[in-house]
Amino acid sequence: MKKAIIVGHTGQDGYYLSKLLLKNGYEVIGISSKHTTDNNFGIGQVDILKQEEVKSLMTKAKPDEIYFLAAVHQSSVDVEVDDGDLFQMSIDVNVKALVIFLECIRTISPNSKMFYAASSHIFGSPDLSPQNESTPLKPTCVYGITKTAGVETCRYYRENYSVFVNIGIFYNHESPRRASKFVSKKIVEGAVAIKNDKQKEIILGDLESQIDWGYAPDYMLGVHEIMKLSKSDDFVISSGAKHTIKDFVLEVFNILNLNWKEYVKIDSRLITKKQKKNLFGDNSKIFKSINWKPSVSFKELVKILVEEEQLKYV
């Protein structure tokens, strides 16, 4: 039986990846800031910032695979924090904890394979679109900067110590488990609440902002498949299509038989110069490597999200 450690198993991606691995007969050890699952190794709670605790985990488990999905970014922080504090929190999780696991692979469990979840934010606001694995890294936000540091760290361990570490450059991917603070979930929750007379309107910013949207379970399948390759590499994981926020709004309200113009209000204060722009992923490399492509279209994705949200009112 293969063993996998998922760092960040309670998030959207960790949830779907855990289900996939368990379905494939894995023993899954999940680690989050709240708790650790599976105590068959007598490990108990693991703090990923404490080297000795991670070292003990790796020594006892000797996992076949490690999926580093944990991350800190502003949308995942419940309260607003200044950039200095956000940098410290982000460096701790996005870089320092990653180094601890990479060092443990190098020194304790050299046969373990690792996956690192990066983000399209590493490209900042690129001049060229779509982006691929060779696009220059020019992050413009704290999350992007620290994720870029994580990417370069993985490459360092791959090149200097032959650590098997795949880097997945994720573009936006959604599911019913998406947090309410993300715009996709905000739109779906608001529209369904309006349909059920629980809300009057939705306030949004730039409706023309374009997003490369995919379905989270699709992406986790791609992640698992690239871990089966004999050589590790970098992979853009994206839908291969982009749509505006307005497209998303229209699709949601059409499903609910509502006129979006009656309920969606624009607040120009929500439109900032820092908004990411021109992010659109070229997924041809992962397609050629493992024949992976999304199975859920944009329309199907929106339908899944709306139908799941409607169940809350049944």
Instruction: Give the confidence band of 275 by pLDDT, cuts at 50, 70, 90.
Output: low
The reply to whether 291 falls in a domain is no
Tell me: do 45 and 13 sit in the same domain: yes
pLDDT digits (tens, 9 = 90+) for 189-209: 999 999 999 999 999 988 999
Q: How many domains does one find in the chain?
A: 2
The alpha helices in the chain, defined as continuous H runs, are 12-23, 51-61, 83-91, 97-107, 142-161, 183-195, 216-226, 245-255, 284-290, 298-310
Q: What is the 3-state secondary structure (H, E, C) of 54-87?
A: HHHHHHHHCCCEEEECCCCCHHHCCCCCCHHHHH
Average pLDDT, the chain: 91
Determine how β-strand 202-204 pairs with β-strand 264-266.
Answer: parallel
Residue 81 and residue 113 in one domain = yes
- pLDDT value at residue 267: 84
Question: What pLDDT, on a 0 to 100 scale, did the predictor assign at position 36?
Answer: 54
Q: Is residue 93 part of a domain?
A: yes
Query: What pLDDT, on a 0 to 100 scale, did the predictor assign at position 108?
Result: 96
Question: Quick one: 168 and 247 in the same domain?
Answer: no
Q: Specify whether the backbone of 257 is left (phi greater than 0), alpha (psi in -120 to 50) or beta.
A: left
Residue whose token pair is 């999780």: 93
* Whether residue 95 sits in one domain with residue 229: yes
Domain span at residue 260 reads 183-211+242-276+297-313
Q: What angle do CA 33, 101, 39 make, to 5 degrees?
A: 55
* Residue 226 contacts residue 290 (beta carbons within 8 Å): yes
At residue 90's C-alpha, the angle toward residues 87 and 92, to 5°, is 105
Mean pLDDT in residue range 233-246: 96
**Do both 154 and 81 map to the same domain?**
yes
C-alpha atoms less than 13 angstroms from C-alpha of 270 in its C-beta half-sphere: 12
Instruction: Average the pLDDT over 36-55 and give the result.
Output: 74
Choose between 104 and 180: higher pLDDT.
104
Q: Mark whether 231 and 246 lie in a shared domain.
A: no
pLDDT value for 271: 64
What the block records as the tokens of 306 is: 């709306």
pLDDT digits (tens, 9 = 90+) for 117-175: 999 999 999 988 999 999 999 999 999 999 999 999 999 999 999 999 999 999 999 99
Q: What are phi and psi of 288, to 5 degrees?
A: -70, -30
Rounded CA gap, 33 and 8, in Å?
Answer: 8
The confidence score (pLDDT) of residue 72 equals 83
Spatial distance between the Cα atoms of 215 and 163, rounded to a whole number of angstroms = 29
* Closest alpha carbon to 199 in 313, 37, 33, 49: 313
Same domain, residue pair 97 and 85: yes
